[in-house]
């Protein structure tokens, strides 16, 4: 009976053209398992393919204890087509199981040329029996393929483990950055809250002081306006009086009615202190100002000194002098009269 691949196992000889297809172009011998197929559809022994690759890439590192290289390129010895390998190297090339099976069958036919099947209903040993037990040839092919897969998986596991370690380190760095970000945000939020509270407090304080000082300035403006009006009236009265010939009467009335006040000066000092910060010692000055506004210093204060007695008005009007002196020029003030003594002042 024919085998699974349509080739009679009793064939002991192949045609020369078919035998030529089973010769490796590198070692010029029959293909040695495993046989790899290149992208250009030419076949090579894996060992020969690795030798060609190492000759084309002498500086690429190889795995310790094996002949597998990772990455690189070489040219097909049959058609000079460039073959690019992946990270698995020559292990990444596909195996040509058909050629391997043909070689095995050729070798078996060469070793036992008189082999015949005893029963036409018996299946070929190259496949499976009725109990689904694989034959020895299939087991060998599967073992070789599993060995290649295991080597590939071991290399992949090493690379995956390195990638996992890098990803874990990256995750730790990201978590650390997230914690630092949260801490910085909390710190700045706390500082912002403190600044907002301080801003509100300073704004209220500044507005209060501003209103207080504006009220005081308005009161000073009003008082100085009234004082200016009174002074203007006094100047007008003085000018009218100077035009009269009774200069002595004008002087007497001026001495009795005009009394300089220290209050504008005190208010001016208080106005100059508006822009100065309030110190603990400034409270005494405020008390002294309150004493002046109340009409006099407090008992026991340093300002409660005896003041000069004002000149009382004369009991009788002065007589007109027979020959009055001419009035002084307007640019010069008249000389003041000496204040009368207490003994010479008449009793009212």
In a domain, 345, yes or no: no
Query: pLDDT tens across 40-96, in order?
Result: 888 888 888 888 888 777 766 544 444 444 567 788 888 888 888 877 777 778 888
Using the structure block, give the residue that is written with the tokens 């300002």: 303
* 79/20: higher pLDDT: 79
Tokens of 223: 């008082």
Query: Mean pLDDT across the stretch 86-114?
Result: 74
Query: Mean pLDDT across the stretch 185-211?
Result: 94
In a domain, 181, yes or no: no
In a domain, 314, yes or no: no
Contact criterion met (CB below 8 Å) for 256 and 310: yes
Where residue 223 falls among pLDDT bands split at 50, 70, 90?
very high
CB atoms closer than 10 angstroms to residue 297: 15
Q: What is the pLDDT of residue 287?
A: 52
CB atoms closer than 10 angstroms to residue 41: 11
In a domain, 257, yes or no: yes
In a domain, 296, yes or no: no
From 133, 159, 182, give the residue that closes a domain.
133
Residues 102, 211 within the same domain: no
From 133, 157, 177, give the residue that closes a domain.
133
Instruction: Report the DSSP beta bridge partners of residue 62.
Output: 69
Q: SS3 for 128?
A: strand
**Distance separating alpha carbons of residues 231 and 234, to the nearest angstrom:** 5
In a domain, 340, yes or no: no
**Distance separating alpha carbons of residues 304 and 308, to the nearest angstrom:** 12
Instruction: Report the DSSP beta bridge partners of residue 45.
Output: 35
Query: pLDDT tens across 304-344, in order?
Result: 444 444 444 444 444 444 454 455 455 444 455 555 444 44
Query: Mean pLDDT score of the chain, rounded to an integer?
Result: 68
Where residue 24 falls among pLDDT bands split at 50, 70, 90?
confident
Which residues form the domain of 228?
202-274
Q: What is the pLDDT of residue 167?
A: 93
Q: ω before 34 within 30° of 0 (cis)? A: yes
In a domain, 114, yes or no: yes
Residues 24, 110 within the same domain: yes
* 83/276: higher pLDDT: 83
Instruction: Flag the least confident range among 16-25, 240-249, 313-322.
Output: 313-322
Query: Strands, DSSP E only, in 243-341?
Result: none
**Distance separating alpha carbons of residues 177 and 53, to the nearest angstrom:** 47
Q: What's the total number of domains in the chain? A: 2
- CATH code of the domain in which 83 resides: 3.30.40.10
Instruction: Flag the least confident range among 46-55, 183-192, 248-257.
Output: 248-257
From 233, 258, 274, give the residue that closes a domain.
274
Residue 5 has pLDDT above 50, yes or no: no
In a domain, 71, yes or no: yes
With a CB cutoff of 8 Å and minimum separation 6, the contacts of 340 are 311
Query: Mean pLDDT across the stretch 270-298?
Result: 50
């Amino acid at each position: 009976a024919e085998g699974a691949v349509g080739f009679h196992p009793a064939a002991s000889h192949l045609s020369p053209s078919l035998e030529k297809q089973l010769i490796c172009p590198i070692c010029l011998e029959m293909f040695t398992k495993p046989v790899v197929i290149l992208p250009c559809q030419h076949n090579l022994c894996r060992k020969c393919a690795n030798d060609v690759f190492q000759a084309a890439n002498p500086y690429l590192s190889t795995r310790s204890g094996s002949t597998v290289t990772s990455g690189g390129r070489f040219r097909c010895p049959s058609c000079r087509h460039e073959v690019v390998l992946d990270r698995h190297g020559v292990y990444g090339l596909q195996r040509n199981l058909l050629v391997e099976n043909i070689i095995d069958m050729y070798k078996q036919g060469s070793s036992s040329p008189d082999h015949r099947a005893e029963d036409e209903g018996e299946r070929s040993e190259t496949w499976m029996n009725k109990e689904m037990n694989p034959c020895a040839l299939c087991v060998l092919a599967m073992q070789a393929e599993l060995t290649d897969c295991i080597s590939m998986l071991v290399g992949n596991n090493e690379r995956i483990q390195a990638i996992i370690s890098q990803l874990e380190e990256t995750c730790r760095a990201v978590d650390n950055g997230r914690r630092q970000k949260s801490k910085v945000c909390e710190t700045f939020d706390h500082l912002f809250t403190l600044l907002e509270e301080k801003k509100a407090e300073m704004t209220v304080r500044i507005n209060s002081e501003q209103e207080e000082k504006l009220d005081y300035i308005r009161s000073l403006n009003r008082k100085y306006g009234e004082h200016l009006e009174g002074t203007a009236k006094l100047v007008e009265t003085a000018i009218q009086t100077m035009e009269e010939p009774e200069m002595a009467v004008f002087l007497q009335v001026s001495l009795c009615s005009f009394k300089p006040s220290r209050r504008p000066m005190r208010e001016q000092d208080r106005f100059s202190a508006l822009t100065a910060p309030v110190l603990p010692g400034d409270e005494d000055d405020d008390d002294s100002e309150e004493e002046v506004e109340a009409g006099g210093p407090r008992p026991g204060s340093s300002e409660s000194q005896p003041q000069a007695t004002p000149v009382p008005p004369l009991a009788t009007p002065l007589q007109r002098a027979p020959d009055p002196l001419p009035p002084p020029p307007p640019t010069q003030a008249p000389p003041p009269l000496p204040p009368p003594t207490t003994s010479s002042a008449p009793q009212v």
